[in-house]
Amino acid sequence: MKVLDHLFYTESHEWVQLLEDGTALVGITDFAQHELGDLVYVNLPEVGDKVEAGKRFCDVESVKAVSDVYAPISGVIVEVNEELMDAPEKLNTDPYGAWFVKLGEISGKERLIDAQAYRSQTE
């Protein structure tokens, strides 16, 4: 399973990319997409919604199941990746490129684990 070194992770298989301007991109890991199987839809939240670290903030659908995605850190949604609505297969083919939301006013970074730790967790 691919694990990218420059990203941070959670135990529930989300990844976070901390951007220079203080915002962060959030997505699900290669391990997650592999477990979930072919993903067909993502129920994205709305810009302006607040998210709380560790709490469910959206879900992804495969043909036969729905899986919750948990916010890795707290913040406010400043952008959602509309492209995912039309091309949900990107979640499977390019999990680290298929970001869900961009968060601003972030906090709670302490709970994230680094690539090394995530790698050993998923081995």
Partner 1 sequence: MAQYVPNTKSEQLKMLEEIGKTWNDLLSPIPVGVRLNRELDLPPGISEFEVMAKMASYAKENKVFSTVLRGAGSYRHLIPSVVRHLSSREEFVTAYTPYQAEFSQGILQSIFEYQTMICQLTGMDASNASVYDGASAVAEAVNMTVDKKRRRALLSANLDPQSIMTVQTYTQHLPIDVEIIPSKNGRLDLEWLKNNLSEDLACVVIQHPNYFGILEDTQAISDVVHSSKAKMIVSVNPISLAVFKEPHAYGADIAVGEAQPLGLNIAFGGPYLGFMATTNEMVRKLPGRIVGQTLDLDGKRAFVLTLQAREQHIRREKASSSLCSNQAHCALTAAMYLTSMGPQGLKDVASQCFHKAHFLQKQLSALNFKLKYDQPFFHEFVTSTPVHTDKIVRHLEENDILAGLPLGDHTMLWCVTEAVSEREIHAVLRLLEEVSK
Partner 2 sequence: MSNLIFETSRQGRRCVILPGSQMHGDNLYEEFIRESALKLPEVAEIDIVRHYIGLSRKAHGVDNGFYPLGSCTMKYNPRLNEDTASLSGFAHIHPLQPEYTVNGALKALWHLQSSLCEVTGMDAFTVQPAAGAHGEFTGMLLINAYHQSRKDVARTQVIVPDSAHGTNPASAAMAGYEVISVKSNAKGGVDIDELRSLVSEKTAALMLTNPNTLGLFDENIKEIAQIVHEAGGLLYYDGANLNAIMGLSRPGDMGFDVVHLNLHKTFSTPHGGGGPGSGPVGVKKILEPFLPNGTVIKNNEELTIKKDAETTIGRMRSFYGNFLTNIRALTYILSLGRDGLKEASMNAVLNANYMMEKLNDLYTVAYPGTCMHEFVVSMEKEKHEYNVSAKDVSKALLDVGIHPPTMYFPQIVHEALMIEPNETESKETLDFAIQTFRDIYHTALTNGQALRDAPLTTPVKRVDDVLAARSPILIYKKPE
Question: What does 88 bind: partner 2, partner 1, none (CB cut-off 5 to 8 Å by kind)?
Answer: partner 2
Is 63 a residue that touches partner 2 (CB under 8 A)? yes
Direct distance between the N- and C-terminal alpha carbons of the chain, in angstroms, rounded to an integer: 9
Report the alpha-carbon distance of residue 47 to residue 6 in Å, rounded: 26
- Choose, by CB under 8 A, the member of 46, 64, 82, 123 that binds partner 2: 64
The least distance separating partner 2 from the CB of residue 6, rounded to whole angstroms, comes to: 30
Is 114 a residue that touches partner 2 (CB under 8 A)? no
Residues within window 42-61 making contact with partner 2, judged by CB under 8 A: 61
- Choose, by CB under 8 A, the member of 35, 83, 89, 94 that binds partner 2: 89
Farthest-apart Cα atoms in the chain, separation: 39
The least distance separating partner 1 from the CB of residue 46, rounded to whole angstroms, comes to: 9
Is 68 a residue that touches partner 2 (CB under 8 A)? no
Q: Which two tokens stand for residue 37?
A: 């199987």
Contacts within 8 Å (CB) and 24+ apart, 63-71: 63/37, 63/38, 65/36, 67/36, 69/14, 69/28, 69/100, 70/10, 70/12, 70/14, 71/14, 71/26
Q: Binding residues for partner 2, per CB under 8 A?
A: 38, 40-41, 61, 63-64, 88-89
